Amino acid sequence: MRKKLYEVIDGNDETNKVHDAYDFFMILTIIASIIPLAMVKQYPVFYWIDGITVIIFVIDYILRLVTADFKLNRGLKSFAIYPVTPMALIDLLSILPSLSLLSKTWRLLKIFRLLKTFRVLRVFKAIRYSPSIQLFTKVFNKEKESLVTVFGVAVLYVLIVGLIGLNVEPATFGDYFHAVYWATVSLTTVGYGDIYPVTMVGQALTMVSSFVGIAVVAMPAGIITAGFMEELRNPKEDE
C-alpha cells in the first residue's frame, strides 16, 4: 500500500497517469495558494483558499513522510532524515504560517508576522512537480563548479575595477562601496547613469568593463546551454 502511495506522489514512472494527475493537481494547488499573496486587499474567499490548500499541503507532507524509506533507501533512518531534507523544509516552512487558520492553539504564530514571507516558498514546491524545472536543477548542479568559477572571476574583477576606479576618480565615487556599485553595473552592461566617471581614464575603464561584461554574461549562458543539450541528448543515446 505504501509502495503504491510512493509511486503516485513521488514515483519516476513516466507511464503512471495517476502520478501525472497528482503532479498536475499539486501544481494547481500551489498556484491557488499564492494568489492571495498577489493581492493587496484580502477578501474572505482568500481565507478559504488558504485553509483548503494548507490542508492539502499537510496531507502531502504526511504522505511523503510515511513513504520516505522508498525515496531515501535508508531504512528506518529515512523517517528521521526526510524532515531535514531541503524540499521537506520548504514544504514545512510554507505550511507553518497558515496553521493559525486551522487551530486557535496556533494563533501565537501571528506574532511572527515575518513568517508570512515563507508562503512565497510555496512557489518552490513546484520544483518537484515540474520535469522542466528538475532538468534545469540537474544541469545547474552538474555545471555548478564552472558557474561558481565564472561568478568568482566576475566578483574579483568587480572588486579590482572598483578599487582602480576609486583611485582614479575619488571625487566621483566618494567611497569604495559606490565604486564597486559602479563597477558592477558596468560589468553587467546595465549602466544606470546615476554614477559615472568624468575623466578620460575612468571612461576608458568603463568601456573595458562593459566589453568584459558581455563575455562574463555569455559564459554562464554557454555553460548552461551546453548542459541542457547534453541532458536532452542522453535519453536519446540510451534508447
Last-in-domain residue among 102, 129, 156: 129
Amino acid type, 227: G
pLDDT averages per 10-residue partition of the chain, 239 residues:
80 69 82 76 82 87 87 84 84 73 48 46 63 74 82 88 86 87 83 81 86 81 79 60
Report the domain count for the chain: 2
- For 186-228, the DSSP string reads HHTT---SSS---SHHHHHHHHHHHHHHHHHHHHHHHHHHHHH
Statement to judge: residues 112 and 40 lie in one domain: yes
CB 211 within 8 A of CB 186: no
* pLDDT for res 238: 47
Last-in-domain residue among 89, 104, 129: 129
Residue 134 in any domain: the answer is no
* pLDDT for res 4: 81
Sequence-distant (≥ 6) Cβ neighbours of residue 59 within 8 angstroms: none
What is each CA distance from 123 to 11, 76, 106, 126, in whole angstroms? Answer: 21, 30, 23, 6
Statement to judge: residues 110 and 151 lie in one domain: no
Statement to judge: residues 59 and 105 lie in one domain: yes
Amino acid type, 55: I
* pLDDT for res 120: 53
Residue 139 in any domain: the answer is no
* pLDDT for res 199: 87
Give the range of the structural domain holding residue 229, as residue numbers without chain letter: 144-238
